[in-house]
Every structure is written in structure tokens, then in C-alpha cells.
Amino acid sequence: MSFLQEYGMELLFKTWEHLYISAISLGLGVIVAIPLGILLSRMPKLAKWMIGIASILQTVPSLALLALMIPLFGVGKLPAILALFIYSLLPILRNTYLGMENVSSALKDAAKGMGLSVKQSLFKVELPMALPVIMSGVRLSAVYVIAWAALASYIGAGGLGDFIFNGLNLYKTDLIIGGTIPVIILALVADYLLGRLENRLSPQITQS
């Protein structure tokens, strides 16, 4: 309670910063990775290379990637968003590719037999069927990004990581806990809300 009395307003601001950084990074990941995953599902040979490159980027330690952004973009929110955007790509890209690949060929043939164009088949048949797999990738990326956004404080981007790093530097447990618990809550809430969205958007199969 004393922590909230002393840092309450700052906690709200840092939480907003954390959400801002995470949301933009994840949004960019969705905008780039889903269309790219759909395209790669039509180009399986290129898909192996692209997913391989994304996997390599994913293995770069987060602090190292953030540090590499400093010479290119300086410090602040921009390099943090770009680094987190890179980290968000792989789960969404891979799941979009797998989701599109696993759509039944019988459904594709049925759509073609009904006279649907390639575009109509994509948006009315393939994407709806692949959506649960795609959304699971988005949910995974959201949890990753929210967790890793705590490290954005390392390059002056703000967010809840400020509490954690300050607590480590000053040996103040309350600051560490005050920064860590909200990050965990944000990750859990994001996963829950995206799960609800996934259920709402997924095609409903009724049994006769």
C-alpha cells in the first residue's frame, strides 16, 4: 500500500508507456507477418529461408538486440519498438504459414468448384480456417512482447522496466516487485483478451 501511495501516479504512467510500446510493436508484427505468411504459403521453397531468417533473429538475446539498435536509432522508444517488432515476427509468421498450409485441400477444391476466385477463396475459406492457428501465434507474440518490453528501459524507452532496473540498482525490493507484477498481469490479460477474440473470430462448426 505504501508503494502505491508513493509511486501510484508514476505506476500508471509507466504502465501506459509499457502498453504503448508493446501495442505498436505487436501491431507492426501483425501487419507484416500475417500477409508475409500468407504469401509464403504460396511459395514453400522461399518459406523455409524466410522462416529460417526469422528464427535466427529470434535467437539474438533481447538485450543484445536492444544495444545494437542504439548506434542505428539512438535511445528512446523508436529503437525499442523496432527491436520488439523483430521479436514479434517469428511466432506470427510461422503460425500463419502453418495455418494456411494445413487448410484442407478438399475445402480449397470445393471453393474452386463453387466458382470462387483465388481472392474469394483466400478470404472466405482459407483465412477463416487458418485463423485459430494464426491467433495462437499472435497471442504468443503478445506475451513475449509485453515481457520483453520491460527491457526497453535499458535504452531509455521507459515503461515498467524503469521500476525493475531502478530497484536492482538501488537494492529496493518494492520497486522490483512493483514493476514485475504489473508486467505479469498485463501479459495474462493480453493472452485472455486475445483468446476471447480468437474464439469470437474462429469459424463455428455446428453438428447436426
Percent of the chain residues topping a pLDDT of 70: 97
Q: Where are the alpha helices (DSSP H) in the chain?
A: 2-41, 44-59, 62-73, 77-101, 105-113, 118-121, 127-148, 161-170, 173-201
Does residue 69 lie within any of the structural domains? yes
Grid cell at residue 34: 500475417
Average pLDDT rounded to a whole number, residues 20-42: 93
Closest C-alpha to 91, from 140, 35, 30, 131: 140
Q: Tell me which amino acid residue 48 is.
A: K
Is the pLDDT reported for residue 16 higher than 90? yes
Instruction: Give the model confidence (pLDDT) of 51-106 as tens digits.
Output: 888 888 778 887 788 888 888 888 888 999 999 998 899 899 999 999 998 888 88
Does residue 207 lie within any of the structural domains? no
Q: Report the CATH number at residue 91.
A: 1.10.3720.10
Does residue 180 lie within any of the structural domains? yes
Does residue 99 lie within any of the structural domains? yes
Does residue 208 lie within any of the structural domains? no
pLDDT band at 124 (very low <50, low <70, confident <90, very high): confident
How many domains, the chain?
Answer: 1
pLDDT band at 188 (very low <50, low <70, confident <90, very high): very high
- Are 146 and 190 a contacting pair, CB within 8 Å? yes
Average pLDDT rounded to a whole number, residues 7-11: 84
In angstroms, rounded to a whole number, what is the distance separating the alpha carbons of residues 9 and 17?
13
pLDDT band at 1 (very low <50, low <70, confident <90, very high): low
The residue segments making up the domain with residue 58 are: 2-201
Does residue 19 lie within any of the structural domains? yes
Does residue 206 lie within any of the structural domains? no
Does residue 43 lie within any of the structural domains? yes
Percent of the chain residues topping a pLDDT of 90: 36
In angstroms, rounded to a whole number, what is the distance separating the alpha carbons of residues 198 and 192?
10
pLDDT for the residue 207: 46
pLDDT for the residue 204: 64
Is the pLDDT reported for residue 208 higher than 50? no
pLDDT for the residue 134: 93
In angstroms, rounded to a whole number, what is the distance separating the alpha carbons of residues 169 and 75?
20
Radius of gyration of the chain (CA): 20
Average pLDDT, the chain: 86
